[in-house]
Amino acid sequence: MKRALHALAALVVAAALPLAPIGAQAVSFHIGGGGAFGTGDLADGTDTGWIGFAGLDYPIMSMPGFAVGATASYTHIPYSGVDAATNIPAVFGEVGYLIGAASPSRIKPYVRAGVGVMQHRYSADGGYGSDGDSETKLGGAVGAGLNFVMTSVTPFIGAHFITGGSDTSFIVAYVGLSFGGRPSSNPMRR
């Protein structure tokens, strides 16, 4: 699992590097978290969980508003009335588009989608490990939100649908912060 995650992250970074000269790169980093709600089979008997994530974005200089990036996340969804949970670590390569990137508005909507690797871990004791079933699979994510563009830090809010099959599908609503980059030239944030 670790080898696959490292390979995916290296591939995303390697693909993004030639998009602009090194001196012009406006890398931004993002962190955040929020609520996670199971859908499909994962909605049966589960309570509201949580997600935490961190990642980075590289702008595509020739296409204002577009960026590629990678995000690693960890989701914990507990079951109702029992001491059990589903835990889902994941790494996604993503592409995003900031709507109205060149406009002077400080509030800008965005859309984002990606594919990656996720691991569905069942924990019978409600912890954060895997003492039961565990399965690594390909997954996809799609979402949208709002950036509140500022000079040094950009707060954002959003929602994503993440799926690796009916037993590993969930919706997340999150808040976060993005750092770095150059907001005036590429305010792409998660």
Q: What is the pTM for the complete model shown?
A: 0.79
Does the pLDDT of residue 181 top 80, yes or no?
no
Closest CA to 188 of 38, 27, 77, 49: 27
How far is Cα 124 from Cα 117, in angstroms, rounded to an integer? 23
Does the pLDDT of residue 178 top 60, yes or no?
yes
Query: In whole numbers, what is the pLDDT of the chain averaged over residues?
Result: 83
- In the chain, what are the domains? 2-16+27-180 (2.40.160.20)
How far is Cα 58 from Cα 161, in angstroms, rounded to an integer? 23
Highest mean pLDDT among 6-15, 28-37, 145-154: 28-37
Q: With b meaning 16 or more CB within 10 Å and e meaning fewer, what string describes 97-117? A: bbeebeeeeeebebebbbebb
SS3 9: helix
How far is Cα 17 from Cα 35, in angstroms, rounded to an integer? 33
Strand partners, 88: 75
Determine how many CB atoms are found less than 10 A away from the CB of residue 62: 8
Looking at residue 144, what is its pLDDT?
97
Does the pLDDT of residue 8 top 80, yes or no?
no
How far is Cα 157 from Cα 32, in angstroms, rounded to an integer? 9
SS3 annotation, 61-122: CCCCCEEEEEEEEEEEEEECCCCCEEEEEEEEEEEEEECCCCCCCCEEEEEEEEEEEEEEEE
Does the pLDDT of residue 24 top 70, yes or no?
no
Stretch 169-184: mean pLDDT, rounded?
84
> Which residue has tokens 């750092």?
179
Q: For the residues of 168-187, what is the DSSP string, one character each?
A: GEEEEEEEEEEEES-TTT--
pLDDT digits (tens, 9 = 90+) for 124-155: 876 666 566 788 999 999 999 999 988 789 99
Does the pLDDT of residue 16 top 80, yes or no?
no
Looking at residue 54, what is its pLDDT?
97
Looking at residue 134, what is its pLDDT?
84
pLDDT digits (tens, 9 = 90+) for 95-117: 999 999 888 899 999 999 999 99
Looking at residue 182, what is its pLDDT?
52
How far is Cα 122 from Cα 131, in angstroms, rounded to an integer? 7
Looking at residue 165, what is its pLDDT?
86
Of residues 20 and 122, the one with the higher pLDDT is 122
